[in-house]
């Protein structure tokens, strides 16, 4: 496997660290649009602790095969047993703390690759903005997915194997289709083929890219090619919220991330999010959360404090199935198959481990 040259992340030291690959700066140095690494490698690279950071234009999948991991996703903490998949879309602040000796895999893929596979197979993953934890069962479908992770890791390391690229995409597709069948993301309407769903998908992506500029709904509607009233009606019908509420929710999420993960003054956070002055930002934040930004940060960072109410909601997760603490058993026979299975204190920004 090619070696990567560590580089410092390209960011303000007070900001949440942003990496392409954790620990290797904000430049994608791998030759593939996919990067695969083992959890075991985290002992040597990071002493089992991947500190809080985020990625841009990268989607990450962590599969815990054995051991234990504590994940912190946008301020929400959970300790996971084997057989869990952690899904981390771009811009989600995440931290992984592995129990020594844990095993599994971390896949990091570019959105260019993800968009292509989702378009080919009718998947909705590119519309996802929230992290999730899924439980992989020990049925045939689960065993095939687990085997696909292992085979993908072996193939990834065979840099000169014939037809390596197509085979990597095939193995990755098995994993992504399984994730899609578990109902992720939770709002599949966002990836539908009808015009309204397509408008919502584009609107959500544009908010993700431009929320800090605080454009009006009309600005987005013009670029989508519809009237503001029509866009608002579509968003209301598909999400139960107004178009403006989606913008405000995204601004609030970024504000909470900055308050928890950076030491930036509230005035600097206000300015970075496009507010005219800190007073307006404080009123906006308190109206939506019931507390001021100062009180929110104090509660969130107090030693032993429970997560703030706004961050305490359960991560999306399936009900756990019975699962041994050891590694997955190899399936008795048969290659991975797309049709296999049932149902449809302050961090630094993005680092690399693929995490």
CB 24, CB 37: distance < 8 Å: no
* Domain count across the chain: 2
Locate 265 and state its tokens: 């003054």
Do residue 149 and residue 238 come from a single domain? no
Residues 150, 101: one domain? yes
Q: How many CB atoms lie within 10 A of CB 155?
A: 18
Does 182 lie in the same domain as 79? yes
Shared domain for 92 and 205, answered yes or no, is no
The SS3 assignment for 214 reads: coil
Same-domain status, 146 and 95: yes
Q: How far apart are CA 130 and CA 143, in angstroms?
A: 26
Global confidence as pTM = 0.63
Does any domain span residue 172?
Answer: yes
Taking the C-alpha atoms of residue 57 and residue 83, their distance in angstroms, rounded to an integer, is 26
Q: Are residues 170 and 294 in the same domain?
A: no
pLDDT of residue 30: 53
Domain assignment present for 218: yes
In terms of domains, do 163 and 225 share one?
A: no
Cα separation of 113 and 117, whole Å?
A: 6
Q: What is the pLDDT of residue 167?
A: 94
> Would you say residue 348 lies in a domain?
no
Residue 261 lies in a domain: yes
Is the same domain home to 53 and 136? yes
Q: Is residue 346 part of a domain?
A: no
The widest CA-to-CA distance across the chain, in whole angstroms, is 64
The residue assigned the tokens 């930004």 is: 293
The domain boundary residue, chosen from 162, 186, 210: 186
Tell me which of 148, 169, 186 is where a domain ends: 186
The boundaries of the domain holding residue 96 are: 34-186
177 and 56 belong to one structural domain: yes
Domain boundary among 186, 218, 247: 186
* Cross-strand bridge partners of residue 110: 58
Assess if residue 106 is contained within a domain.
yes
**Do residues 119 and 212 share a domain?**
no
Same domain, 246 and 275: yes
pLDDT for 78 equals 94
Tens of pLDDT, residue by residue over 240-296, are 889 999 899 889 988 988 898 889 999 999 999 999 999 999 999 999 999 999 999
Could you tell me the CATH number of the domain that includes residue 245?
1.10.10.60
What pLDDT is stored for residue 349 in this prediction?
A: 34
Please check whether residues 243 and 211 belong to one and the same domain: yes
- CB-based contacts of 170, cutoff 8 Å, min separation 6: 336
Report yes or no on 318 lying in a domain: no
| Residue 306: predicted pLDDT | 53
User: For residues 194 and 245, what is the distance between their CA atoms, to the nearest angstrom?
Assistant: 23
Q: For residue 84, is it within any domain?
A: yes
Segments of the chain with pLDDT less than 50 = 1-13, 23-29, 189-192, 309-354
CATH number at residue 90: 2.60.120.280
Q: How many CB atoms lie within 10 A of CB 153?
A: 17
pLDDT score at 348: 35
């Amino acid at each position: 496997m090619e070696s990567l040259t560590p580089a410092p992340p390209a960011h303000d030291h007070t900001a949440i660290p942003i990496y392409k690959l954790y620990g290797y700066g904000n430049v994608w140095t791998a030759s593939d649009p996919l990067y695969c690494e083992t959890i075991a490698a985290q002992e040597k690279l990071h002493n089992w602790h991947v500190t809080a950071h985020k990625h841009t234009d990268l989607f990450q999948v962590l599969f815990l095969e054995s051991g234990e991991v504590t994940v912190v996703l946008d301020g929400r903490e959970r300790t996971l047993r084997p057989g869990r998949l952690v899904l981390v879309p771009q811009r989600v602040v995440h931290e992984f703390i592995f129990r020594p000796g844990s095993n599994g895999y971390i896949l990091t893929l570019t959105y260019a690759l993800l968009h292509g596979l989702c378009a080919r197979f009718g998947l909705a993953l590119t519309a996802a903005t929230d992290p999730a934890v899924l439980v992989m069962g020990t049925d045939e479908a689960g065993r095939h997915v687990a085997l696909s992770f292992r085979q993908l890791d072996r193939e990834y390391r065979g840099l000169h194997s014939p037809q390596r690229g197509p085979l990597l995409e095939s193995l990755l597709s098995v994993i992504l289709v399984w994730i899609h069948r578990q109902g992720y993301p939770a709002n599949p309407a966002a990836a539908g083929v009808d015009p309204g769903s397509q408008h919502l998908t584009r609107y959500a992506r544009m908010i993700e890219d431009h929320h800090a500029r605080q454009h009006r709904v009309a600005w987005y509607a013009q670029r989508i090619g519809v009237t503001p009233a029509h866009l608002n009606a579509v968003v209301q019908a598909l999400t139960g919220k107004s178009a403006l509420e989606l913008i405000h929710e995204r601004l609030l999420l970024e504000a909470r991330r900055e308050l928890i993960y950076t030491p930036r003054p509230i005035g600097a956070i206000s300015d970075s999010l496009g507010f005219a002055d800190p007073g307006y930002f404080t009123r906006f934040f308190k109206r939506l959360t019931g507390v001021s930004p100062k009180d929110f940060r104090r509660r969130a960072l107090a030693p032993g404090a429970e997560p703030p109410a706004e961050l305490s909601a359960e991560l999306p997760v399936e009900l756990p199935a019975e699962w041994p603490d050891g590694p997955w058993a190899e399936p008795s026979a048969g290659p991975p198959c797309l049709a296999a299975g049932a149902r449809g204190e302050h961090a630094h920004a993005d680092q690399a481990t693929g995490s």
